[in-house]
Amino acid sequence: MDFFEAEARAKKRTSRLVTLFVLAVAGTIAAGYFASVFLLAQANSRGHRHRYYDDSPSYGQSAPSLWQPRVFLAVTLGTLGVVGLASLFKWHEFSTGGSAVAESVGGRRIDPHTTDLRERRLLNVVEEMAIASGITTPVVYLLDEEPGINAFAAGLTTSDAIVAVTRGTLDKLTRDELQGVIGHEFSHILNGDMRLNLKLSALVFGILVIGLAGRGILWATLRGRVRSDRNSGGAVIAIAAVGLALLLIGYVGYFFGRLIQAAVSRQREFLADASSVQFTRNPGGLTGALKKIGGFALGSSLASNKSAAIGHFFFAQGFESNFGGLWATHPALIERIRAIDPQFDGKMFEPPEVVDVTHESFARAGFAPGAFAPPKPAPAPTTTATPFAIVASVGTLSPENIANAETLLAAVPPRLREAARSPTESTILLYGLLLDGDDATRERQHALVASRAGSEALRTLGELEPSLQQLTPAHKLPLLQLALPALRNLPPSALPQFLGTLDELVHADGRVSTFEFALQKILTRTLALGRTPSAGIVQIYSFNAVVDEINVVLSALAHTASNGGLDPATVFASGARELKLLEGKLRLLSPPECDFVRLDAALDKLATASGPIKQRTLIASAHVVGADGCILIAEAELLRAIAAAFDCPMPPIQLAAA
């Protein structure tokens, strides 16, 4: 299953979720209606005829009709209003991205410069998988107060995604097992599960809020009754009855909401497990983590009740499931292990000694990283840069890409990796990536940095330059990926100056290279989605509506490929053939008609197109750059910029020598 198929499947699941949610709300309305009729009937029997009753000739003479349209209308409008507003409130709370979710459950962002070896190992694993999959490196959080083994990913897009793990995960798992867990979470990121999880949380909260309101009324009333005088006892009982009714109504809806939550979650866990094994080609890593969950007394349990609302986010069941497992958000551990290893005998991991987690960490007790399994050799990378392979790699992880990412990161000088993780030095690093090879141009760029960012920034740039000169072109965009989490933390007031300085550095030599265009496009698109994840809205569903923009994209790629000696018309035609719906409507534009200014505008419009349009445009683009059977660095940079503009994570491409 490719990225676009996963995206379409996620949309189908969202439609199914909305249907189930409507049924749950309908059940809540029905419960509220019958409760209201009952309470009003009690009031009527006591001589207090209510204005909502339509047919009773006089109170106390006959039972009220079971069908009361006005009551039904009032209950329906009230329920929809409360549920809708509560769901919108929760959605707005999460709309800032994955960091809001992690911080809501007590997550601590891991310092990119941490000296803790276990935290450093976790960051390395996440960085490797991010580079391998082509997504922005997720921010990593640690749940310090959670000794169980668990993890989750959250976010609205790949640009604002976070990965969070518990303290127990760091203390108890080897690197292979940790990689298996992180691979599972990357599957959720790449398969579009995160956004669905957030929608699910918001909808379930909307149903639950009625029960919470009832509980609050009931509690306040019961406490107030103790201090009230005897003459107000009837009013207190009436209010308490309303609170009790709301509590029961809310929890009827919540019961069905939790059933929806569990049903939507369970099957996705099997898919994520399978994807993790496919990514790492090491089933023992993932099954080892699952066996340790089954072997340790704490397992994957979560101590904080704040995590209950997002229990379906986690790697494993975080809370005890009630109602015979109906509320279980995850399949049983044995089922998950046997889906990977059919020969599993049911025997879980056996800790060599009992650990008092209240007074002693698992690391000090002998469960240090790497204690249980030797590291496996990384598979050798292979070259599969055919057009279809390039597009098929979008939104996926493979052992070859992970090995390639490890090689790329190992070749990046440590000083540059350190700068990429720094909120203050990451901007200067990007300035350094744009330094020109011509001495005179470089001097102008130095002067620009000094005037725009200050002498201290120029001094730091001077420190980075020797390491920057060691970089090959293939390392520059992966280094940008590493720097994006730090750059996302720039205050909004600092962004215009930073982006303006970058633009001046790009134009210092009077021209724009493909790398410079790619860097600016990937950076601005990722920062925009990171700050406003809900901005990626589909507005265009017709190929004909974007034929001019597709012409610009394919023409720009064709002229880039022609720099290697190819005929632009020939390579353009190789891509145009992949767009059958636009046959006869595509034509090669002249270089001025598809320059970087026009390409930038075209990509912005195509970013609002539907998945099928993006997919076919990417396939056509890959055929243009791969027309001669090899892909050069300029072609790869431009293709990755196009994929980034489409919000399609593309791994680094295996390059041919220039």
| Residue (of 556, 520, 499, 518) closest to 643 by Cα position | 518
The dihedral sign for the CA sequence 450, 453, 456, 462: negative
b/e code 486-521 from CB counts within 10 Å (16+ = b):
bbbebeeeeeeebbebbebbbebbeeeebbbbbbbb
User: What is the C-alpha separation between 516 and 503, in angstroms, rounded?
Assistant: 9
| Residue (of 430, 624, 158) closest to 632 by Cα position | 624
| Residue (of 531, 429, 542) closest to 479 by Cα position | 429
- Within 13 Å, how many C-alpha atoms sit on residue 104's CB side? 20
| Residue (of 267, 265, 217, 269) closest to 239 by Cα position | 217
User: What is the C-alpha separation between 611 and 541, in angstroms, rounded?
Assistant: 9
User: What is the C-alpha separation between 170 and 185, in angstroms, rounded?
Assistant: 15
Give the E-state strand segments of 118-192 in sequence order.
139-143, 151-154, 162-166
Catalytically annotated residue among 7, 146, 177, 185: 185
| Residue (of 207, 213, 206) closest to 247 by Cα position | 213
Cα-to-chain-centroid distance, residue 273: 17
| Residue (of 587, 358, 640, 622) closest to 478 by Cα position | 640
Main-chain phi, psi angles of 154, to 5 degrees: -150, 155
DSSP H or E stretch at residue 429: helix 425-433
Q: CA dihedral in degrees (106, 111, 117, 119; nearest 10)? A: 40
Check if the beta carbon of residue 618 is closer than 8 Å to that of residue 394. Answer: yes
Check if the beta carbon of residue 158 is closer than 8 Å to that of residue 481. Answer: no
DSSP H or E stretch at residue 625: helix 611-625
CB within 8 A of 511, min separation 6: which ones? none
Q: Are strands 139-143 and 108-109 parallel, antiparallel or unpaired?
A: antiparallel
Is 353 a known active-site residue? Answer: no
Q: SS3 of 428, please?
A: helix
- Known catalytic residues? 185
